Structure 1
C-alpha cells in the first residue's frame, strides 16, 4: 500500500509570446539559433492583473472536471510567486475552490525542485495516515520578476500552473526520493529586493550581464554559466545514487523526466548518464521553463501523447534555485 499519481492537469495564461515576437523587440539577436540550442519556441505570460493564484485556480478547475473535489483532504501549494507575504496562498485557494474546511493547506517556497519535493511530502502524509487524497499545486509567474530588457530570461521562462491528485493506493506508485541543498549558491538565481533583507528599491540602478542583458536588483537574476555548471556536474551522479537507492537499473526505467530547464542542459545530462534519446523526455518547445511546473506538464504530455504502454516506471528530477535538487522513482499510467 502507498501513494500514486492519479491525475494531472495544467494551465497556461492566454498570452503567448513567440520567438518572432521577441525578435521584433530584440532585432540584434538571432532567435533561430536560440531555438535550435535551447529548444524553446514560445512561452506564455500572465496578464498584468493575473497572478499565480489565478493560474492555479484554473488548473485545479480543469482537474475537477475529472475528479470529485470533495475527496481532497490536503492542499500542498508550491510557489515562488505568492499572492501576499502573508497569509499562505494555499488558504486562499481552499476558499476559491470551495474545498472542505477540514482540509489541511500550506505553501512551500521552492522552484525547479518543487514538484519532486511535493510528491515526496504527499507520499509521507498518505503513508502516515494523515491524508488520503492530496491536491499538489505548482504555480509561478516569473515573468513579473523579469526586467523587460532582459532578453535571455524573457526567452527562457514562462508562466504556468499545474494540479496533481495524489491518492492512497493499494499498489504503491511513488517510491524513494533523495534530496540535496547547497545554500552557498543562493545568489546564483535570485530576486534580491522586495522581502525581509532588502526592500524594493524605486531607484534601483540597472546592471548589465551576459550578452547585453539588463536587470536591477528588483528583478530576477540568473547566473546562467554557474547554474549550468551546477546541474551538469551535480545532477548526473545524483541520479545514479537515486537509482541505487531504489534498487533499480537504467534498463528498468521506461522514461527519465527531468526539470525542463533548456534542451542543451538536458542533452548534456543525458549524455553524462549514457541514456538513449528514446528514454529521455524533452518537452519545453511550447511553454519554456515554467519552473516548478515543468515536470508535471512533461508527465502529463508524455502520458497522454507519447506513452505506448499502460504503465511505466519514471525517474523524475528537479534542480535549480536554492540551490536545491531532488529526484525519485514513480510509476505513471497512460492518460493521466
Structure 2
C-alpha cells in the first residue's frame, strides 16, 4: 500500500515585526484604545509580522517552500504537484493562481500541476487532504503543500476587534509517496450556513456587497470553533483506530490561545503536548499550522515516529483534521 508522508517542512515570516505595543500606539493615533494586556488576555497574541509593500503571498510562499525542499532533500524539479492554500492570492480570483506564480519563481517548467486551495484558515488541512489523495491514487509522488497569507492587506485598522488578531506568513511541507505510514487519517467538513460570521472583502463582481475588509463575529466564531475542532479530531482518531492518548503533538490552527487550550482540554491532552506559536505571529490563516509544525520540527520537539494531530477551522464555514505519523 502507498502512503503519503511528510519529508520536509519550512516556514517564513516577513521581517517587519509589530508588537502589541506598536499596534496600540498606531491605533491610539486614531483615537482607538487598546493595549498589550487587552490583546494578550483575549487572544494570547503578543506580536505579528507584516509583509513589505513589495512582498506578495507568492514571495512568502517561495521562501517557505525553498526551506521545505531543502529539508526534504528534493529538488524543485522532482515535485509533481503544487497546492497553495491562501485567501490572499497575488491576483484577484487566483487568476493566475498563486501556485502557478510560485512554480515559476521556483524555476519549474511544465513538470508539475499547480492550483490554489480556498478554505481560509482550514486551507492547509484541505490542501494536505487533497495531496494525500493524489499520492494514494498514484497521480503524484511528491507534492509541495503551502499555506501563505498577507492578511494585513485586508484588515480594517479602525476595527480593533479584528486588526489586532491577524498577521502575514507562510508555511510549507513536502509530502511524498512512502511504504511507511505517514498520513493516517483526514476528515473535512463545511457548513455554508455559517458563512456570514467570518468573511473577507467582497470582490468587484459581487454587486450585492460593498464590504471592503475582513469581517468577523468573534463570539460566534469562538463558539463554533471550540465545538467542531474537538469533534473532527475525534473523527480522525476513530478512523485511525487510535486513542487520544497516543497523540504526541496537537497542532491546532493558531488563531486564539483560548480556543486552542479548550480543544486540548476536551481531547484530554495536557498543555505541554500542544504546539503554540500564535503569540509570535498571530492568526496567519492557512499558514498557521505549517508554521507551527516547522517550528516544532526544527527545535526537535517533533521526532520520527511521533503522531501529530493538525486541525483547523475557518471561514466558509470549514473545518478539518489531519492525523500524521512523522
The normalised TM-score by structure 2 is: 0.92
Give me the whole-angstrom Cα distance separating, in 2, the residues matched to 1:14 and 1:109: 26
Counterpart check, 1:94 vs 2:71: no
Q: What's the CA shift for 1:183?
A: 0.3
Partner of 2:290: 296
Partner of 1:30: 35
Counterpart check, 1:11 vs 2:5: no
Partner of 2:187: 178
2:310/2:323 contact within 8 Å kept: yes
Give me the whole-angstrom Cα distance separating, in 2, the residues matched to 1:309 and 1:193: 43
1:122/1:166 contact within 8 Å kept: yes
1:48 equivalent among 53, 65, 68: 53
Seen in structure 2, the aligned counterparts of structure 1 residues 306 and 150 have a Cα distance that, compared at 3 Å, is farther
Seen in structure 2, the aligned counterparts of structure 1 residues 126 and 289 have a Cα distance that, compared at 3 Å, is same
| RMSD after superposition | 1.8
Q: What's the CA shift for 1:137?
A: 1.4
Q: What's the CA shift for 1:100?
A: 3.4
1:154 equivalent among 157, 160, 163: 163
Give me the whole-angstrom Cα distance separating, in 2, the residues matched to 1:238 and 1:69: 33
Give me the whole-angstrom Cα distance separating, in 2, the residues matched to 1:277 and 1:139: 27
Give me the whole-angstrom Cα distance separating, in 1, the residues matched to 2:312 and 2:6: 17
2:315 equivalent among 297, 314, 321: 321
1:39/1:285 contact within 8 Å kept: yes
Q: What's the CA shift for 1:124?
A: 1.0
User: Unpaired runs of 5+ in structure 1?
Assistant: 202-216
Seen in structure 2, the aligned counterparts of structure 1 residues 290 and 95 have a Cα distance that, compared at 3 Å, is same
Counterpart check, 1:122 vs 2:116: no
Give me the whole-angstrom Cα distance separating, in 2, the residues matched to 1:8 and 1:199: 41
Give the 3-state SS of the residue equivalent to 1:329 in structure 2.
strand
Partner of 2:87: 80
User: Unpaired runs of 5+ in structure 2?
Assistant: none
Query: How many residue pairs get matched?
Result: 317
Give the 3-state SS of the residue equivalent to 1:119 in structure 2.
helix
Give the 3-state SS of the residue equivalent to 2:236 in structure 1.
helix
Q: What's the CA shift for 1:37?
A: 4.1
Give the 3-state SS of the residue equivalent to 1:286 in structure 2.
helix
Partner of 1:108: 117
Give me the whole-angstrom Cα distance separating, in 2, the residues matched to 1:134 and 1:69: 10
Cα deviations across residues 282-333 of structure 1 (Å, max 9, x unaligned)? 221111111011111111112222516442011111111110001121012x
Give me the whole-angstrom Cα distance separating, in 2, the residues matched to 1:174 and 1:310: 13
Cα deviations across residues 61-83 of structure 1 (Å, max 9, x unaligned)? 33344431121111111111122
More helix by percentage? 2
Cα deviations across residues 183-226 of structure 1 (Å, max 9, x unaligned)? 0111111124224323885xxxxxxxxxxxxxxx2011111011
Give the 3-state SS of the residue equivalent to 1:185 in structure 2.
helix
Partner of 1:138: 147
Give the 3-state SS of the residue equivalent to 1:311 in structure 2.
coil
Partner of 1:210: none
1:192/1:198 contact within 8 Å kept: no
Q: Which runs of 4+ in 1 moved over 6 A?
A: none
Partner of 1:71: 78
Q: What's the CA shift for 1:95?
A: 1.5
Partner of 1:278: 272
The normalised TM-score by structure 1 is: 0.89
2:120/2:285 contact within 8 Å kept: yes
1:80/1:111 contact within 8 Å kept: yes
Give me the whole-angstrom Cα distance separating, in 2, the residues matched to 1:231 and 1:136: 24
Give the 3-state SS of the residue equivalent to 1:233 in structure 2.
helix
Give the 3-state SS of the residue equivalent to 1:156 in structure 2.
coil
After TM superposition, list the pairs within 5 Å mapping 1:145-294 onto structure 2: 145-198=154-207, 217-294=211-288
